[in-house]
Structure 1
Amino acid sequence: MAEYYLPDISRIPTLSCAYVTRVLTQEAFADLYRPEWSNALCEDRKKLDVLGVGAYDGSTLVGLAACSADCDDMWQIGVDVLPEYRRQGIASALTSRLTKEIINRGKVPFYCTAWSNVRSVRNAVKSGFIPAWVEMTAKPANIVDEMNL
């Protein structure tokens, strides 16, 4: 089951992390279609990836939240953080900032997570999102297990 979230406009926090963050446009994504950023960007749908926020440790990208223009008015957020940088608040800092950037562009941000991906659910809630709708599908147990690593 996939859960979809919409932002509660009155409670989108301004969160920070220990790293420099930068807003990225589509042009900056060209070299980022790699496995470590596969939740934030989708190589098969490059033309839909429109905006992102990256966290940098020096010149190294350590976290990326990006959004795809899934329709004219709604942009879906995805986020990735390198394993050695997780549990530092990077994902929520990037997600909340990207949420505000999307709203400032007159679009509706939304966030999706598998119901079993507890870390992603926590990120959504911490970033000011609330559950809005669900989608039911069936997936093999091994895929669900991999999502929870």
Structure 2
Amino acid sequence: MERFFIDSIIKKYLAEQFFSNLSVLEEDSTTFTINSLSKSPYIKIMAFNKCVIINTSKSIHSKVKSALSNKSRDEIFEFPFIYGQTIHYIPDVKKIQKVELLEEYTYELLQGNDIYKLRGIEGFDNSIVFDCNGNTSTKIVFLAKKDDEIVGLAGAGEETEKLWEIGVDVKSEYRKGGLGTKLVSNLTLDIIKQGIVPFYSASITNLGSQMVANRSGYIPYWIDTYGNILDGSSPYNIYVKNLEL
């Protein structure tokens, strides 16, 4: 898979997610866009290369633009009405490679309907989640077992037809042995072989997850904040509810 193909898929995805034109992603600028789908007050901020995109609902667009125009990137990401930041990684096509698996585990690769035999599994919320109807957006899973117990699992959910997001979970007693890296590295190549672009996400506070990304051959590509709906449901609402936007 060529880097230009990964770039084109990711950029198209970002433009759609932030209601922006593709050309904006190449600019050294701060751009304000409107989320036409959000009925509640909403804000999400993204940094990619030299550009920053601030996406809001129409109801607060003018006030946010007034507050953040002519601000630096750091000042924008310190805005009190946002919380949580995520680093998103793409595979480095020059470094990603199949890695030797740990001999103390057995492994399974599941795809399609085979994934549904994992219904009811708990403790792997970063890699696979089933909704109340027993459905999941996870398209492929690579798991490790110890004595027939699933102890580690990497899964990829569909964001678009050509873009899947990888997540990984390893039970606490089996961490720090490199299992997470092995699962992510090998699953990444299985996804790439299908012509799909995988990406990996980690909270800026989760150093362990960031290390897995790095060791698995991933490089940071963009950062964004959580998409915050300012309807009183924020855990920090008590601190900001009396502030005027």
Q: Which TM-score band (shorter chain)?
A: 0.7 to 0.9
1:119: how far off?
0.4
Name the aligned partner's letter for residue 96 of structure 2. I
- 2 CA distance for matches of 1:26 and 1:46? 12
Task: Output one character per residue of 1:11-46: Cα deviation in whole Å (capped at 9) or x when no partner.
Answer: 013332232222112433333443311110122393
Contact 2:151 2:170 survives alignment (8 Å): yes
Corresponding position of 1:57: 146
Look at both structures and tell me which one has the larger radius of gyration over its CA atoms.
2
Name the aligned partner's letter for residue 60 of structure 1. E
Name the aligned partner's letter for residue 73 of structure 1. K
Q: Secondary structure at the match of 1:11?
A: coil
Percent of aligned positions that are identical: 30
Gaps of 5+ in 2: 1-84, 229-233, 237-245
Matched, 1:27 2:113: yes
More strand by share: 1
Q: Secondary structure at the match of 2:184?
A: helix
- 2 CA distance for matches of 1:41 and 1:97? 17
Stretches of 4+ moved more than 6 A in 1? Answer: none
1:58: how far off?
2.9
Corresponding position of 1:146: none
- 2 CA distance for matches of 1:121 and 1:11? 16
Aligned counterpart in structure 1 of residue 97 of structure 2, from 5, 9, 13: 13
Matched, 1:104 2:193: yes
Corresponding position of 2:33: none
Compare relative contact order (CA 8 Å, sep 6+) and give the higher one, 1 or 2.
1
Corresponding position of 2:211: 122
Distance 1:119 1:39, change over 3 A: same
Aligned counterpart in structure 2 of residue 80 of structure 1, from 145, 149, 169: 169
- 2 CA distance for matches of 1:46 and 1:10? 35
User: What is the aligned residue count?
Assistant: 141
Gaps of 5+ in 1: 142-149
Aligned counterpart in structure 2 of residue 4 of structure 1, from 70, 85, 88: 88
What are the equivalent positions in structure 2 for 1:40-55 lying under 5 Å apart? 40-44=127-131, 46-55=135-144
- 2 CA distance for matches of 1:119 and 1:33? 26
1:110: how far off?
0.3
Task: Output one character per residue of 1:55-104: Cα deviation in whole Å (capped at 9) or x when no partner.
Answer: 11131111000000111110100100111111111100000000000000
Contact 1:5 1:124 survives alignment (8 Å): yes
Name the aligned partner's letter for residue 127 of structure 2. A
CA RMSD for the aligned pairs? 2.0
